[in-house]
Structure 1
Amino acid sequence: RWREGGRAPLALDAGAQGEHGQWLRAAGFDNLLVHGSSAAGADASVFALFGLPMRPGARHAYFLELLLPCLHLALAGLPAVPGPGLAPPRPLSRREAQVVQWLREGKSNAQIGALLGISTLTVKNHLQRIYKVLGVGNRAHALARCLELRLLDG
């Protein structure tokens, strides 16, 4: 139906007659707002928002259409990470674990360096190795991954 509609955002309501309304009711959803990118020969993405607190209409569809390029680029820019529960390829070194502990406390690279008696550049190098080991791209993602893998004390 998305293609038939000129690839515009699609808003469906469970109260609607026909197979789409019937499908939503059977799935236990009140509504659906969906839109996707359609770049030929490139990565494509689809965003489906189920069970919104309000009935999606033309205004919601318009906003999703505006947001789609940003959502698609954000999704495409995420680094590939191992599946949940998989251990990193190697354990963190003792020093890397110390850096992560201070990272969790919200310390800057300069503060971590001062606390550990190493240079800010060395902290940055440790962080780059940590990101590579964990398959992440930034501090927040590294902390989330460490929590997921239960690598942090406490």
Structure 2
Amino acid sequence: MDNRKEILDELSGLSPRLRDLKAKGDGLTTPEGYFEGLSDQVWSRLKDSPKKETVVRPMRRLWRLPYKSGIAAALVLAAAALIWLNRPRESAAFDLGALTPQEAEQYILNNIEDFDLSMLVASRPEEIADPAGAGRTDTLDSEWDQLLDEYLEDVDDATLEQILF
């Protein structure tokens, strides 16, 4: 027990407040008869307080807004779909009927390096329509021969063998 007395003396030296906590108790005590009269006090306060009228709102009023919003959204989507589907479409296809033979010939001459040799050989200059009927096939044949000669001069032997064999 001497040990206990030494501990209490040391505790009182370090912190007198900590030592006094045990003497005070836990502080959680209630007055005598507190819980017996509590229910009566609560009921008397409830009876004396003014009653508030409870307002009951019909649910129909709350549901009107979502229905109206849903119908409005559906109408907006339908209008957007109609506008989007009926918009004028730009045609990606080029109208070749509006192209004159001179324009086609000039395009081919300007972009000859873009064409494949087999494609050039397979097409015949006679197939190009001559609206005036002036017989330009001789001129086209000579230009065609000249273009093929220039192409063959630019092609090396290995590429030429690969094309022919």
Q: TM-score, normalised by structure 2?
A: 0.18
More strand by share: 1
Identify the structure with bigger relative contact order (alpha carbons < 8 Å, sequence gap 6+).
1
